[in-house]
Structure 1
Amino acid sequence: MGSYILPRSFSKPVALLALTAALCACGYDAHVQAASSTGAQSPLIVAIPPRSGPSTGQRVLPAPPMLAATVSQLVRNFNGKVGVAVRSVDDGWMIDAGGNQRLPQQSVSKLWVAMTVLSARDAGKLRLDDPITLTRDDITLFHQPIAGLIRSGTGYRTTVGELLQRALTMSDNTANDRLLRLVGGPGAVRSFVTRKGLGAIGFGPGERMLQAGTAGLTWQPSYAFNDGFNRARNALPRAERLAAFNRYVASPPDGAAPAAIASALARLKRGGLLSAESTSYLIGTMQSSHTGKMRLRGAVPTGWSFGHKTGTGQDFAGRTAGYNDVGLLIAPDGRTYAIAVMIGDTLRPIPARQALMQAVVSSVVATHASTASATTRRTNGARSHG
């Protein structure tokens, strides 16, 4: 049986759920007994079937009830607006808790920009080595390491491929927004999402206008320099900022359902969204990401592969509008799980958010281990009677 990491900050009932998943292949009876022995209320176990089966026509297997129970329990125990979705790329099943609500994506939306760029590459409209020069007019706000390389007059000479790497592995806002303009703006990304039938995945107006609107501002070019955005935001009356923040959380223009994101990632892995070359490039780039080391990645065991994209929104009065991580978790045997954990609004501290994400990964790993063990036992049993 494989080992996995379970965050210590979780309550005993939740920890016991994940541990039981690792120890039991058959699951449900053992789970109920273990939960009752701690005095905890037994959660309702719901194995949620996929809303749309894999496009490959494969047979969809039932979702593991223990994993469904664990995910449900994790979401119920977390104080915040949360959605979690897990889809098996190989077996087609889907598990979600709160996975149909549209939650703020923030930088998770960089995935759809990258896919739109690579789709244009597949169509022969651009190449990764195409040159691009960034100027000071391209500078946005918040996290943008590339802004320090842009010089007055000469700008910064780069390529489409470098911008993609920076947008995905560093979550660079300026790199991403320049790619967004290259492919035709938000409308082009929305068209890609619609054309590919990705479902409940929205795309906002671009980083500048999205963040300005969330803060209660209208974007001005001066906000990109000399801390202009933060100074303008801090000058707003508290009531205006709170109203804008609440509007964003209630109806985020970049909102997406975790279940739709997990399904899209599963389709990506199966080769249903891009060419084989672009699929390999994107997943490989996601696996080299430098962000969110203590989010989902924090519980990925040795020997497993993980490619992901994080997203983090603005803070106000102790609340965060969007704290996310979505990705593809690949077991040593090659079996893959698409995972989306999105926290749309919460007062919980960062370690608690990370612990939630890590517990989801730990539970998926434990379920995989128990399933693999059961399969081995069945195979060995068949051979012994052969």
Structure 2
Amino acid sequence: MIRLSENTHATLDLTITWQGPEALHEERYLLRNANPWRDIYPPGVKEAITGLRPGEKAAFDYAPGAVMPDWDERLVRSLPRKSFKPQSAQHREIQPQVGRFYPQGFFEGLPGVLPQNIRPARVLDASPDGLTIDLNHPMAGRFLRLAVEVADVRPKPGDTGGALSHIVERVCDFGPGMQACLRDGRPTIFEAPGALRRKDDGPDGLFYASPRMVNHVDAQASAHLAGIHARFVEPGALVLDLMSSFATHLPSGHPARVVGLGLNREEMAANPRLVDHVVQDLNADPRLPFGPGAFDAVLISLSLEYLIQPAGIIAECARVLKPGGRLLVGFSDRYFPTKAIAVWSELHEFERVGFVSQLISESRLFTELSTHSVRNWWRPVDDPHFPKLLTSDPVFVVAGSRVGGV
């Protein structure tokens, strides 16, 4: 079996874990064309993975500033309120909210920052007259653990070209860190006026009256979602698949018993995992028709963005979970935009992780919060969107454990 060296190319499965004030975060990323001859590695990594074969791995710990910039107070800037250029989404005017991230190009008066600059800036304070923003990288100042698994190794092509990757930047840029609360522990303001409204406020029962029988993510993304769920759902657990359809995101053969609650009876009847199902519109009636402590786990997969009372549904999930039971909320970047709450379309995908995390945390009904992202896998070649789309849909999951009591 070929070993990784400067004379090979490789696929590397990279995972960075880091602890935020409110949750443990895990970012998984597939570096699909690693070139050890050219790529930039953190200290010690290249030496440790040289000679590894597919399936072998190594792990490394890094202090703040070692592989990502340390937090720098000089990058906190004060600006007049008028420096934020008005934006709009779904006919809503976007105003800067405390804790939110916006492209640096949205702010006028930043030296060297062009209007097309999309690197994130975080609003720390906002008043009628002024703004305080943080230009630090969202992962600045954090302890990181990097795990590298060699997925495959192949001979280098005849030329010595290829991509030049800074492997930590590939994982950490343009998203990770944006799900964390503010450094001083303040929550992010997500629910500004109109945030929970939807473009299509018509009855959800009508929208979902006809069975769709379509996958909302590709098969690789579905497998990642199922794999994360399996880490938290014990064998034999009784699981509530909330807002269920014709597929439950658990691995084939996982020995869990699953009850579905959704809007279309035909879709759930076609779901082979369900031992029972209930038809209910949670936006019309958010009270779950189950007793306290009935379930070992609740899955909300690819659907939380459609709830107009998400905090109330989180509380209901806590009510029907046993102490220690798991809540797992998963989503991707694909959804029905007319049926999603307005704030969802305004958030960066990692801010959505923060939005869900904050909903769960502020309920004070869950502990052991963790977030999980999986990105940049290959899209299956038999997917209907291949080869127009080569990359699998990203997957995000927020997990929490029900505190004691029911």
More helix by share: 1
TM-score over 0.5 (shorter chain): no
Higher relative contact order (CA 8 A, sep 6+): 1
More strand by share: 2
TM-score (norm 1): 0.28
